[in-house]
Amino acid sequence: MKRFARLAATLALAGALSAPAAADPLDGQIGLTLNPILGGYHDSYNDMVHLPPIPVPLIEGNLRFSNFEITAYGLPPTIPIPYTDAIQGSVALRLSILNGIFRVWDPHGRFALGAGELVYNQTTSYQRADGYALTGTGGQTQYSRIVGAQYEAVARMPLHADRLEVELDYAPVLLGTQVSTYTDGSPTRYNPERGNQIETNLRITHHVGKHTDMIFGVRYVNFTAAYDVPGHPLSDRNAAVLPSFGYLWRP
């Protein structure tokens, strides 16, 4: 966190030094996109599951003043998402995501660097418990939260009457704890996790009204987490391409 604080202070200072003399008015947008999963997979305990084409709803917003910008997107807590695991039977997954970034733009508003935080909350219920259950029967529920600093580079450029935006995000260290509970009364297990994530986002913004922009593009996410113990056995690996379509509204 000290490294993140130092970087944020450096970005703020750089932005202040490059800010134009006449400050721009405060500007902001809120939006909603649908992002269907294409070719996605989930890998855990060497058991790979191909993800269904679920249209993931992401809520986003941004607030900009001069060449500073705060931007965030999130996935609200989902309803249980069912799928089948070859080892542990029927599975129900609940997930929420929060991603917030502080950006500093160059004087022309074309390029920015950012730093922020990424948070995952996940609850997974399994029909059959893993091998740590004492009786070998009953179900299991895993809870985990994994958090870490994220860094970003962004480019924006005009494309005819539209705007093209390219983002590259990297979270090098995500830390958390996985908590496993068992319906047969086996002791609760606590497993530290360490992960990372690469995310890219390419999209076009098309102005369709006085206060409305349409968004379409594509997002790629690659998340990997391992147990933070000797040997670092795999906890989760998730990767997917997500086409994106939605709208931004300016109040």
**DSSP class per residue in 145-199:** EEEEEEEEEEEEEEETTEEEEEEEEEEEEEEEEEEEEETT-PPPEEEEEEEEEEE
**CATH for 191:** 2.40.128.90
For residue 208, the model assigns a pLDDT of: 93
The list of the chain residues with pLDDT below 50 reads 5, 8-9, 12-13, 15-22
- Please calculate the CA angle 139-142-145 and round it to the nearest 5 degrees: 170
Percent of the chain with pLDDT over 70: 89
Mean pLDDT of the chain: 87
pLDDT recorded at residue 45:
65
Exposure on the CB side of residue 119, measured as CA atoms within 13 A:
14
Cα dist from 4 to 113, 135, 150, 175, whole Å: 13, 45, 9, 14
Residues spanned by the domain of 100: 2-19+28-249
Who's near 175: CB < 8 A, 6+ residues apart? 146, 147, 148, 192, 193, 194, 195, 228
End-to-end CA distance of the chain: 34
At residue 21, the pLDDT reads 42
Taking alpha carbons only, the member of 243, 242, 250, 240 closest to residue 216 is: 243
What span, in angstroms and rounded, lies between the C-alpha atoms of 124 and 135? 20
Copy the structure tokens of residue 75: 């996935």
Total of domains in the chain? 1
Q: From CA 68, how far away is CA 106, in angstroms rounded?
A: 9
Q: What b/e string do you get for 35-60 counting C-beta neighbours within 10 Å, with b at 16 or more? A: bbbeebebebeeeebebeebebebeb
